[in-house]
Every structure is written in C-alpha cells, then in structure tokens.
Structure 1
Amino acid sequence: MNKFSVPLLTLLLSACAIGPDYQRPTIDLPEQWQTAKTADVDTRAWWAQFSDQRLQTLINESLNNNQDLKIAVANIEASAAALGLARTDFLPSVNAAISGARERYIDGSTDSIYQAGLLLDYEFDLWGRIRRANEAAAADLAADAFTRDALQNLIVAQVSNAYFQSRALDRRIALLERLQVTQRENLQLQQKRLQAGLIAAYDLEQARSEAYVVDAQLPALRAARVQTLTALAVLRGVSPKAMTQAWQQQYASDVDASALPIAPDVPMDLPASLLERRPDIRAAEQRLVAANARIGEAKAAYFPRLSLTGIAGAASQALADLLDNSEQVWSAAATLSQPLTDIRRVGYRVDAAEARYTGADAFYQKTVQIAFQETLDALTSVDAARAIMQAQDQRVEALLKAYQAAQSRYRAGDLSYLELLDVERQLRAIEQEQVIAQLGLLQSTVDLYRALGGGWQSSADTVAAK
C-alpha cells in the first residue's frame, strides 16, 4: 500500500459525519408580513425612548441584581464548560502512570516488573460522533444565551409595567385625594344648609354617602401601590430590608409630580425580521439544532470505533532502579471495536434522540406561533389604547372647559356652589379614567417592544458563532 494511502483514507473518513445536517423547519408565514417600517425600529435599550431617568435606573438595577438573571448566567457558564469538555475529545489524552507487577511462572520462579511513563489514548473521529457532540454542546450554549436574552427582555418589560403602574396609582391617589377634599367641602356645606333648614336630612346623607365612596376607593389604591413597589423590589433583586423600605415609601401626593411619561410612537407593522429578533425563537431553534446533532451522535455508535493507545517510559525489575538503571520501553496499539450485543442499546438511544428532536421541533413551531400571537395582540392593543386615550383626552378637555365655564358662572352668581361641585366631581372621575387610559397605552407599548424582541440578540449571536 502506498505510504500516503493510510493518511488519505483517515482524512476522508474523518470528513464523514453520520446523521442529518440541520435545516430550519418550514414555517407558513403570512404573505404580506415583510414590511420595512417596524424592521427599522431600534429595540436596543428601547426603554430610553420613554425619557424617564427613574425608569432607566430601575431597569439597570434589575439587570444587575435580578436573581433569575443570575440563574440564567450560571446556566450559560455551565454550558460553556460543557462545550469546553466536549472540545477536549478532539485531542489525545496523555497521562502519567507508574505501575508494579509480580508474576509466578510454571517452573515456580517469580519475577517483578516496575514501569513508569506516559499513557496516550486517542480516538479517531471517523463517523463524526465527536463533531456532532460538539455541535450539540455549542447549540446548547447559544440556546442558554438566547434564553438569558429573552429573560432580560421579560424583566425589563415587567419592571417598566410595574413602574408605570406605580406612577399611575400615585396619580390616581392624588386625584382622589383632591376629590376627597371637594367631597368634604360639599358635606360641610350640606350640614350648614340642613341646619339652616334649606335641605332635608336625605340630602345630607346622600352627600355623606358620596364622600364615603372616595374613602372606600383610596385604601384599595394604596394597597395596590404597595404591592407594586414590593414587586419592583423583587425584580430589582433587593434585600428584604430594602424591600421593607420600598413598602414604607411615600407616594407622590402632588398631581403634577405624578404625571405619567408619554408613550413613544411605534410603527404598526409586522417586522420582516421577527424570527431573528425574538430571543425565545432563537433559543428554541438552537435547542432544535442540538437535538438534531445528537441524532448523529447516537447513530455514530452503530459504526466501528478506532482508537490509538500507547505507552512510553522506563521499566525495571527493581523499584529502586526505576529511575537510574531502567530500560526504555514503548508500545503502541490501534484498536477497532464494533458493538455487537449493544446494538439494541444503540437503537434505543437513536430512537430517544429522534423523539427529542420531534419534541424540540414542535416546541420551536409553538414558540413561533406564540411570537406572532403576542406581536399581533400587542399591535392591536397599542392601536386600541391610543384610540381610547385620545377619546379620554377629548373628554377631559371638554369637561375642563365646562368646569371653567361653571366657575365663571358661579363667580357671576348664575350657578350654585352645589352645581359647581357636581361639575368638579365629574371632572375628577373622568381624570381617573384618563389615567387608566394613559397607563393602558404605556403598558401596551411596552408589550409591543417586548413582542418585537428586545435588544440583546448581538451578545447571544456572538456566543452562537464561537
């Protein structure tokens, strides 16, 4: 045989990789979904578009301290170590060893032999088993990185929604407290009118009942605000002591100070790059890549495994002479092993790997479906929330004009104080609905940004490329 035949044959065999090569599953996408407007939206650090420094501070604290994110980072580190371990299978294993043996022969004589040296063990990756294992480990690492990105996206959305909720509750409480002052003034006026004989007791009790309505609403709003603050504390990963401080935090009683930020405009189109922008989709696909590679890893066990073992060192009949008067020895052996009785075990492992791939494929398809559902729902919610807020703004503007006109008529003596208080009560009630509409638009916008994928793909792409 030509001296180049064996290396060439080894090279050709090592180019083989048993098992299917990965191909992205075909997805039935809508024909008109690839639009350009939303694709141009920069979702990296999208919360900065709300122009709220306090929100940015809370988000930065959450990204640095959230316990779920720490778990995700630990999973990435574990997967990176697993990939490093898988890559070592490409290299020969070299270990130092020392051994001693004593033998008795048929003639009754005995002999001792002591050896010290280096042991070599190397497996030729003829069928791509090691390469498939590395492909799977790399995909697992990328999947964990994308999972962390999806978690970051979710946490930022949760922090933003909780923060806007707390701001909205602050404003609603402040508006109710202002209405409470108006109701108490009305109650005092009615008490004076009753004493003057101008009204019946029924009118006084009706005014008292309206005042109690506000008194009953305030505790529920204050409790909801406290729960929102403690939820924010958990998202930020703070200690129980800091959580208690958040629980004791006072709300902003000034109506103007509790004004909500303005929601930024987001183009109302489906992005063409949704499959690439959503980290949860990328994570599901990487899990599918890993499952596909493990089919090849399992199938490679059907074929013979070629390994090279060797030893080089010193040997002596006396342990004391092992280092000084020993003989240099070496040996090398190639082993070709083929599974026989384990064929059924290999078949079961292949069946299990194929079943896991089927499950990973279904999970990927479901993740894509959920992504489109969330995006379409978010687009619908933003559109509806914007229309509701515009209508509420117009209601408040109209009623504010009516209240100003009522004030002018009251000062001119053409309107009673009770009628003025009634107009103000209507205005304060509509302002409550306006705050709820503003909060709905803010939270719908946050949900849309989250549905569009957040802004951490670049870091996970770097991991996936390694």
Structure 2
Amino acid sequence: MLKRLLICALLLLPAGCAVGPDYAPPEIAVPPAWTVSLETAADLADQPWWQQFGDPALDELIRTALQDNLDLQIAAARVDQYLGQLQTTRAEFFPQLGAAATAVRRQDTAAGLAPGGQAPYNYYQGALSATWEIDLWGRIRRANEAARADLLAGEAGRRAVLLTLTANVAGAYLDLRGSDRQLEIARDTERTYAETLRIFRLRYEHGTVSRLELSQVESQYQAARQAIPQLEARVARQEHLLSLLLGRNPGSIPRGRPIDALTAPTIPAGLPSTLLTRRPDIVQAEQALIAANARIGVARARYFPTVSLTGLLGTASIHTATLFKDPADIWQAGAEVLAPIFTFGAIEGQVKAAEARQRQALLTYRQTILAAFRDVEDALIATAKGREQLAAQAEQVAALERYARLARLQYEAGTTSYLQVLDADRALFAGQLGHAQTQAGTLAAAVDVYRAMGGGWLDRADALAAAATEAESTAK
C-alpha cells in the first residue's frame, strides 16, 4: 500500500504547477552615456584603485579594515543566517523522518478491556514515522526561490558594505592628510607671525613703529594661532573615524605620503548600462524583488489543499520481552489532505500583503537605480570641477605669494602701510588652507567615482579580506 502511494506521489510531482508570477526583469530606462566626459581607462574598473594613490600606509589601512571592520563581520554573519534559512526551506522538498519511543502505565475502563485483560497494565511502543508533503502547487518551490534570492541579496549586501568600507577608509584618510596639511600651514604661519611680532615689539620699544601697527601684528598672530586648535580637533576626529572603520579603539593613525605627493587615480571607464550588474546595492535590490515576487506564489498556494504522505513502522507490546518479536510489529501508511474552506479572508489578505510587498520592492529597485545614476554623475562632476578649481587655486596661491612678498617689500621701503601687508598675509593664509582642502576634496571625489561605479575591483577587495582573515586564523 505504501509503495503504491509513493508511486502515485512521484507521478503527480512533475504534473504539479507553481502558482504565482514568474519573475521577469523590469524594463529600466538607462541613459546612453554619462553627461560628464573625463579621460578614462577601461582596464582600471576591475583593479584595486586605492593602490593608484601610491601610499603604502593607505594600502595597509584598507587591508586592516577588510580584516577587522565590525560592519563587514555583521554583514558576513547575515549571509550565514540566509544560508541557514535556505537550508531549512530546501529540507521541505524531502520526507521528514522521525523516531518516537513510549513507555506508559495505563488504566482503562472496564469497557475498554479485552476479555481476560488486566488493569492497570504497561504499554511499550517504538516507531519510525515519515511525512512527505507533495509540492503540487509549487509552494515549496516558490519558498525555495525566495530563500535563494534572500541569500543572494544578503551576499550583495555584504559586498555593498565592502564597497562602502573601502571607499570610506580611503576618503577618511584623504581628509586626514588634507587636514594634516592645513595644520602644517597654520603652524608654519603661526611661527612666522610670532617672529614678526617679536620684531615689531622690539621696534615699538625703540619707537620705530606705532602702537597701531603693533596691535595689527598681534591681531594677525592671534588669528593664525586660534586656527591651530580647530585643525587639531579636526585631525583627532578624523583619526577617531578611521579607528572605528578599522574596528579598534580611538587612537593615532599612521601616515604615509603627504597630500601633495599623492597621485590622483584615473577614472574607470564604464557605460550606465553596466551599472546594473556592477553596483552591489542594485543587485541586492533586484534579489529582494525576486524574493518578494516568489512569496506571492507562496501566499497563493494557500488557496489549494496540501497533500502529504504519512507512514509509520515500529513495534508495540504490553511486555518488554515480546516488544521486538513479530506479533508486536505495527505499521501505518496513508495520505493526508488539508484544504481551506472558510478562512474569512485570511488567505486573501496574505496574498494582498505579498503583492504589496512586491510592488514596494519594485519601486525600491527603480529608486536604487536612479540613485546610482545620480551618484555617478555627482562624483564625475565633482571630480571634473574639483580639478578645475584646484588648478585655479594653485595659480591664486602663487599670485598671493607674490602679492605678500611685494607688500612686505613696499612696507620696508616705506611706500605703503602695514595694513597692506596684513591684507596680503591674510589672503595668502586663507588661500593656502583652501588649496589644501580642495586637494583632499578632489582626490576624495575620484574615490567617490569608484564607489559609485562599483565593479570587479570588489572581487579583489573580497580576496584581500579573505586572505587577511585566513592569515589571522593561521596565526591563532
């Protein structure tokens, strides 16, 4: 009997259908090209771009972050969670086997006893049971499809964290080196102004300069001096940020090459259409859409009856001595059908909720793509305009240096007041600080381009993270 039921189930299984919509990629309007044109290199999209800066300290910071960052470890643990959920869902394809053993002492009513029976009496039973749900309507297949998409979305989410982490470490390091340069400028300026103030105090004591001129020099010195604590605080905050990204307590960060010596990375080539597969957040959003689409089928399958095969094989006796002898054998085989009749809209509500979640996932997918296109355009325009601004600022600083030198010469010659020198020095100080900030900002904009475009370099970063983790495990 059980054999016939199994044969019938195997015959019915291929005939089963999967209710619910099959996934079809939505139509996406993709621009043919980026609006900003920059010199690019096609072979750089898949390379570890941070190495183009030529700073071993930055390379080491990224390697450490890929090994120790806690957000990345959380994302990896989330992938393991989805893997376990997929394993659980796949198990529903197969018969579920179980074992049970019973030893009880019973007291039945007199009417329930056989002639010559005794009361109370012992009862022993041991049995293997099996239950197998036949996936006629595709509920298990759709659930498996959703669980697989969840796993792929989790992996894409982990790669999105990897992308963000790498870019954040590089960006924070560039900001730090830019602030270091600004602090260096402020300290050099403060020392220069301190020497000027010393000279003017001597001159004032000898009556060669007025109190007004001495006050102007003192004001200039204090202005440069008060900028130093602000910049020191900014440097400390950026070190704390990098420490967090590295998965460690706040502390000092090793430096490498100065901001002036860093090489700007070449922009990677890539069309907007390639962004759909290169950006992990887009891949994650699409997999979430696939999962939501499959769960519509899971919800709709509840309209239909579930068919399960059940079986039991074991032994039972009132005496332990005869428990494993032939007369004590018991078995059971059958089929179970459970069909909903009156659910008062519960299943319909579940279907509506699943369809609404699918629409949300679709809109989120489209929104993610639009945001990705914007990210690339913003990063490209920031890089292009940042380079233009940097070139103009370099010329401005050179002109301000000439202006400050000439103003000082004219003051020493007695042809102008010291106020002219103060104006020139203030403008030069501000120009140098602005130039250092733009240097860091332009380099960071190039990082944002790689962040926005994604690409095969994520595989290199992933391999680097895996190698670092393996090396750490070996050391332990």
List alignment gaps of at least 5 residues for structure 2.
463-476
Give the one of 216, 236, 250 matched to 1:226: 236
1:261-298 deviation per Cα after TM superposition (whole angstroms, max 9, x unaligned): 12112157654311111111111111111111100011
CA shift in 2, pair 1:196/1:459, >3 Å = closer
Greater shift in the superposed pair: 144-153 or 338-347: 338-347
Partner amino acid, structure 2, of 1:10? L
Give the one of 123, 135, 153 matched to 2:145: 135
Alpha-carbon distance between aligned partners in 2 of 1:192 and 1:263, rounded to the nearest angstrom: 47
Query: Any conservation in 1 of the 2:268–2:450 contact (CA below 8 Å)?
Result: no
CA shift in 2, pair 1:458/1:95, >3 Å = farther
Alpha-carbon distance between aligned partners in 2 of 1:171 and 1:429, rounded to the nearest angstrom: 13
Alignment of 1:6-155 (within 5 A): 6=8, 9-14=11-16, 16-32=17-33, 41-99=44-102, 104=109, 106=111, 108-109=113-114, 110=117, 114-155=124-165
List alignment gaps of at least 5 residues for structure 1.
461-466
Partner of 2:452: 451
Partner of 1:463: none
SS at match of 2:29: coil
Partner amino acid, structure 2, of 1:156? T
Partner of 2:323: 322
Matching of residue 303 in structure 1 with residue 313 in structure 2? no
Query: Any conservation in 2 of the 1:316–1:327 contact (CA below 8 Å)?
Result: yes
Partner amino acid, structure 1, of 2:205? Q
Alpha-carbon distance between aligned partners in 2 of 1:187 and 1:459, rounded to the nearest angstrom: 53
1:215-248 deviation per Cα after TM superposition (whole angstroms, max 9, x unaligned): 1111100011111111111111103xxx2x42xx
Q: Provide TM-score, normalisation by structure 1.
A: 0.85
Give the one of 168, 179, 184 matched to 1:174: 184
Alpha-carbon distance between aligned partners in 2 of 1:26 and 1:311, rounded to the nearest angstrom: 52
Greater shift in the superposed pair: 290-299 or 307-316: 307-316
| RMSD (CA atoms) | 3.4
Q: Provide TM-score, normalisation by structure 2.
A: 0.83
1:124-145 deviation per Cα after TM superposition (whole angstroms, max 9, x unaligned): 1111111111111111111111
SS at match of 2:97: strand
Q: Cα distance, 1:7 vs. partner? A: 6.3
Alpha-carbon distance between aligned partners in 2 of 1:257 and 1:439, rounded to the nearest angstrom: 11
Query: Any conservation in 2 of the 1:13–1:127 contact (CA below 8 Å)?
Result: no
Partner amino acid, structure 2, of 1:190? F
Moved over 6 A (4+): 249-252, 401-407, 412-425, 457-460
Query: Any conservation in 2 of the 1:99–1:115 contact (CA below 8 Å)?
Result: yes
Query: Any conservation in 2 of the 1:277–1:457 contact (CA below 8 Å)?
Result: no
Matching of residue 212 in structure 1 with residue 222 in structure 2? yes
Alpha-carbon distance between aligned partners in 2 of 1:85 and 1:458, rounded to the nearest angstrom: 32
Partner of 1:373: 374
Q: Cα distance, 1:114 vs. partner? A: 3.7
Partner amino acid, structure 1, of 2:230? A
Partner of 2:469: none
CA shift in 2, pair 1:105/1:13, >3 Å = farther
Q: Cα distance, 1:62 vs. partner? A: 1.5
Greater shift in the superposed pair: 230-239 or 394-403: 394-403
Partner amino acid, structure 2, of 1:191? R
Q: Cα distance, 1:423 vs. partner? A: 6.4
Alpha-carbon distance between aligned partners in 1 of 2:269 and 2:396, rounded to the nearest angstrom: 25
